[in-house]
Amino acid sequence: MNGEHSLIMTVYNLKRCLNILGIAQMLEKIKNWNPNYKEIAWLIKKQQKCTNFEALHAIKILEIKSAA
């Protein structure tokens, strides 16, 4: 059930991004995306009992910090 929900939400978010940004701008952002996986893994490990939502929230916070 969690896997199905995650997949549905991923598709929803991708479609939403396409509608907001357009194809060209979204592809450009994907090409330039450079996440810091070590910091993400550390945050998730720190919250060992975190839910998928909490882990995704931690990743989103890192993306916002790195964009600033």
Helix (H, G, I), strand (E, B) or coil at 7: helix
Which has the higher per-residue pLDDT, 48 or 40? 40
What is the model's pTM? 0.47
Give CA–CA dist 63/59, Å, rounded: 6
Contacts of 59 (CB under 8 A, 6+ apart): 35, 40, 43
- CB–CB of 18/26 below 8 Å? yes
pLDDT tens per residue, range 6-37? 889 989 988 988 898 899 998 898 888 887 77
